[in-house]
Copies of this chain bind each other. A is one copy, B any other.
Amino acid sequence: MSQSITRGGSSTSKKEEQAFLEAYRPGDYARPSVTVDLVIFTIKDGALAALFVTRGEHPWKGALALPGGFLRVGKDRAEQGEDLVDAARRELSEETGLSDARIYLTQIGAFGKPGRDPRTRVISVAYVALVRPELAQKTVGGGDATHAQFLDVSKPHKLAFDHGEILAAARAFVQRELLVSSIAFELTPETFTIQELRGTYEVILGEPLDPGNFRKRFLRMLEEGIIAETREMRRTPSKPARLYRFAKRNRS
């Protein structure tokens, strides 16, 4: 915003500002469309999977795409529409039926290269959602009779628009975040064994972890109170394993 040179911080009257706002008319320069796109991750069949929809219309008709939609913008100054994160929650709910506010959802950035959508200039604000596997199975994307489906992200898919780039950014975000916060639990069932949690880590990081060494990390989290023991055991093909549950976040 180019500023005229006015200094000294003279407090201007509320009345004057009111008059300014009344007189304000939006310029007629072009505005972009703003969409909110979601990378909804879950663990499916032992792999990191994301929800994709098949496009039914041009452009990119028939191609896989990330779920998303237009940000709802109000018509006047008093009603300016919905917040970005609310639009993301709404999309999440529409695509999966999941409206639980506890589901992890966070913004990872804006993507807005000119030409990314051939129809018009679009700025997409991307969000990452993490859905526990038992919840994901119950959603629209859980079955495969619908247009939305969870697919293994380690397998290459031809995606519409620049959604491949957004997906890559989302994977990088989750990998980085895994090392500093408790997001692994957002992709793990309510109760889990040490090995099951290790599986989640392995799937996100894309590499195997030593069971003994992972156990040490796990026990540290237990001491810190991030994880709590339960009385139950999980039956396995061999020796049963203790079940634990997530107790508290290690950072807000």
- Interchain CB contact under 8 A, B32 and A71: yes
Assembly CA distance A138 to B41 (angstroms): 47
Is there an interface contact between B69 and A147, defined as CB atoms closer than 8 Å? no
A84 touches B26 (CB 8 A): no
- A34 near B35 with CB under 8 A, answer no
Contacts of A109 in B (CB 8 A): 107-110
Q: Nearest B residue to A59 by beta-carbon distance? A: B17
Q: Residue on B with the closest CB to A124?
A: B110
Q: Is A242's CB within 8 Å of the partner chain B? A: no
> Would you call B29 and A73 a contact (CB within 8 A)?
yes
CA distance A9 to B55 in the complex (A): 9
A84 touches B110 (CB 8 A): yes
Q: Is the interface of A mostly helix, strand, loop or mixed?
A: loop
Would you call A1 an interface residue if the criterion is a C-beta within 8 Å of the partner chain's C-beta atoms?
A: yes
- Residues 21-67 (chain A) with a chain B CB within 8 angstroms: 21, 24, 26, 29-35, 53-59, 61-63, 65, 67
Q: Given A20-B58, A21-B118, A84-B110, check contact A75 B147 (CB 8 Å).
A: no
A89 CA to B96 CA, complexed, in Å: 39
Copies of this chain held together in the complex? 2
Would you call B1 and A62 a contact (CB within 8 A)? Answer: no
The answer, among B29, B61, B65, B113, for a CB contact under 8 Å with A17, is B61
Q: Does A82 contact B (CB under 8 A)?
A: yes
Asked if B120 and A80 make an inter-chain contact with CB atoms under 8 angstroms apart, the answer reads yes
Known: A31-B73, A32-B34, A118-B77. A56 touches B6 (CB 8 A): yes
**Does residue A146 face the partner (Cβ distance < 8 Å to B)?**
yes
Interface residue range, chain A:
35 or more
List the B residue with the shortest CB-CB distance to A108. B109
Contact with B along A170-188 (1 / 0, CB 8 A): 0000000000000000000
17 pairs of residues in contact across A and B, judged by CB atoms under 8 Å: A1-B35, A1-B65, A1-B68, A3-B55, A4-B57, A5-B147, A11-B62, A12-B61, A16-B58, A20-B59, A30-B73, A30-B75, A31-B33, A71-B123, A74-B114, A80-B114, A83-B114
Query: A residues near B, CB below 8 A?
Result: 1-12, 16-17, 20-21, 24, 26, 29-35, 53-59, 61-63, 65, 67-71, 73-75, 77, 79-84, 94, 107-110, 112-115, 118-121, 123, 125, 146-147
Beyond contacts A20-B58, A108-B109: 10 other A-B pairs, Cβ-Cβ < 8 A, are A1-B53, A4-B56, A5-B56, A6-B56, A26-B33, A29-B70, A32-B71, A73-B121, A83-B114, A84-B112
